[in-house]
Amino acid sequence: MYLLEMAPKFLLAIFILLIYVKLSGKSQIAPMSQLDQVGSMVIGALVGGALLSPTVSPWEASGLVAIWAGLLVLIRFIKSKNSRLRDTIDGKPIQLVKNGHLITDNFIKANLPVRDFETLVNIQGIPSFGDLKEVWYELNGSLTLIKKGDKDIAVLIIENGAISQDNLKQLNKDEDWVKREITKQGYEKIEDIFCAEWFDNKLIIYPYDAVREGNK
């Protein structure tokens, strides 16, 4: 009898979770931000608590899960459209090594002991700090690194039709420079560009599909 009473709750909760996973996209499988991790744990707690509580109806249980999942999807959507807001919510990668020099203050900021840093570096096949040129501590706890002698990694200048001001500042460039560069390649507006990266001293542009088709 108890199992029969619980069955509607299970079915509705699974249905809502399937919708949430679908709307969240495959990025949920990849390393998540702190907000994503906490949000997913809260969803698990809501589902578990609502399913086991005899005083919560199937619709109430589903409603709780749906509201929280909807808020997470909304926040993720807003972050995808506004890089500044995303940086405010999730934070930004912390540079630990610049031009071969360890930025000691940033180790404290990242709350990363140097011994743990050494372990992460060794895991990637780097035997010594002396082999490092640039290193960033990512939001998910992983390292992005460039060894001495390697090419610098690409820097994202335009994202979802908007300029990444922090990355632009990193290159000591301004918006007028970006506009001149995209004009040289036949594009009129920054809003027409899905993303653009600066790599090997050139700007590589990836326009939206509609713009690409129109330029053919």
pLDDT in tens, 149-180: 888 888 899 988 888 888 888 888 999 999 99
**CATH architecture entry for 94-147:** 2-Layer Sandwich (3.30)
Q: What does the mean pLDDT of the chain come to? A: 80
The pLDDT of residue 4 is above 70: no
Residue 155 pairs with which residues in a beta bridge? 198
Contact 199, 155 (CB under 8 A): yes
Give residue limits of the domains in the chain. Answer: 2-88, 94-147, 155-215
Average pLDDT score over residue span 172-197: 91
- Between 3 and 151, the more confident residue is 151
Backbone angles phi, psi at 136, to 5 degrees: -120, 140
Q: Report how far Cα 172 is from the mean position of its chain's Cα atoms.
A: 24
> Hey, what CATH class is 155-215 in?
alpha beta
Contacts of 155 (CB under 8 A, 6+ apart): 167, 170, 171, 197, 198, 199
Fold match flag (94-147 vs 155-215): yes
Looking at residue 160, what is its pLDDT? Answer: 84
Looking at residue 43, what is its pLDDT? Answer: 73
Q: Which of 135, 139, 138, 158 is nearest to 147 (CA)?
A: 135
Looking at residue 28, what is its pLDDT? Answer: 45
Contact 149, 170 (CB under 8 A): no
Looking at residue 176, what is its pLDDT? Answer: 92
Please give the Cα distance from 42 to 34 (Å, whole number). 12
3-state DSSP call for residue 143? strand
Of 46-55, 67-76, 89-98, 151-160, give the range with the top mean pLDDT.
151-160
Please give the Cα distance from 178 to 157 (Å, whole number). 8
Q: Does the global pTM surpass 0.75?
A: no
- Between 181 and 25, the more confident residue is 181
